[in-house]
Amino acid sequence: MSIAHEASDGRKAAYRPGRPDLIPGRRHGGGYRGGAGLPAESSLPSVLPGTHPGHPPPRPSGPRWHDNPVSFPISPGPGAAGARPITVIAHRGASEDVPEHTLAAYRRAIEDGADGLECDVRLTSDGHLVCVHDRRINRTSNGRGAVSALELADLAALDFGSWKEYPDPYESPEHEERERTSVLTLDRLLRLVADAPRPVELAIETKHPTRWAGQVEARLLELLDRYRLTTPVRVMSFSARSLHRVRAGAPDLPTVLLTHWLLPRHREGRLPPGVRIAGPSIRALRAHPEYVARAHEAGYAVHVWTVNEPEDVRFCAELGVDAVITNRPRQVLAQLR
C-alpha cells in the first residue's frame, strides 16, 4: 500500500515503506515496549488507535484545539517606557551545555530560568512525534537512517547524548543518565511543561519536507488538544503550507514563519494570512535591521533565531525584538536582566 508524501516542490508522490538502514540494536517487528530507551514512555501505545504499523495516524475530523487564544504583546522598542522584557527561548533546550533535544536539556533550561522551550518534531514510521532536528539520526545518535523510516522502538534503543561528550559515540561507555541519552517524544516534553513549577512557553517547529506530509500537523494538534496547556504555545515552520494546515485545524494557535533570509515581501511587512509572528534568523536581521520596526508597524511580533553571541543579544535588544531563541538561555538571561 502506498502512502502519499509531499516533495519539496509541493507535488504528491507515493512512498512505499521499506527496510530502513540497519542500526545498532535495531529490533524488527513488534511495537514500542519501553525499557531500554524510554522507560517513562512505557504507557504509550506502540501504534496509535485506528492505525496500523508503518502508517501514520489519521487526520482529526475537525478542529480540536481548545479555545485558549494567546496574544504576544509587541515590544515598544528600545528605551521605551514600559518596554516588555525580551522573551528568552531555549533552542532545543539548554543545548550548549546538555545534548540537544534530550529531557535533561529541557530540565536544565527550566532550571536556568528560560521563559520558553523550543523543539523540532518529526514523525516516526509508527506515528510518534519525536524531538529530532535532522532528517537523519546520524549526527546526534549512534544509529543511522531517516526518522520517518524508523519506529519509536528503534530510536529508543539508541544513544542520543554521548555524541556531545565523547569523540566516538560508537565507543562511548554506557551512560547511566538516560535523560541525557534517550530520544525524547513530544508527548513526554508536553508532560514536562505541564508539570513545570512555573509557566513555561513552548515553541514547536515542524520539519519539512517529509514523506508524511500533513500527518505531522494532525498528530501535533491531537497532542496539544490532549494536554490543553495553559501556558503559551506556538507552532513554527519554514513551510507556509505547514502553518496553513495548523491554522486550518487550530485557528487560535499562534504561528511563526521562520526565514533564513528576508524576501522583498517580508521586508515590506507581509506574512502569510493568519501568521502573526515573524521568525527571521539573526543573519537576516543583521542584513536588514530596519525590519523589526517595519514588522511591528504591520502588527507582527518578531522572534529571532539563533541568538548566542553577546553582541547579537545586544543588537536584538537595541532593535526591540520580542523574543530570542538561544542555545545559552542562562547566559542570555543574565545579559538581558
Contacts of 334 (CB under 8 A, 6+ apart): none
User: Which residues are paired to 273 by β-bridges?
Assistant: none
Catalytic residue from among 55, 91, 266, 296: 91
Cell numbers placing 240: 507556509
Q: Which residue of the set 101, 133, 244, 296 is catalytic?
A: 133
Residue 69, C-alpha cell as written in the block:
487564544
DSSP state of 235: E
288 in catalytic set: no
Q: Is 91 a catalytic residue?
A: yes
Q: Measured between alpha carbons, how far is 159 from 179 in angstroms, rounded to an integer?
A: 10
Q: At what angle do helices 215-227 and 240-249 cross, to 10 degrees?
A: 40
- Across the chain, the runs of DSSP E, i.e. the strands, are 3-6, 12-15, 87-91, 116-123, 129-130, 201-206, 233-237, 255-259, 277-280, 301-304, 323-326
DSSP assignment letter at 145: S
**Grid cell in block for residue 187:** 508527548
CA-nearest of 174, 159, 223 to 194 is 223
- Cross-strand partners of 281: 305
For the annotated catalytic residues, the residue numbers are 91, 133
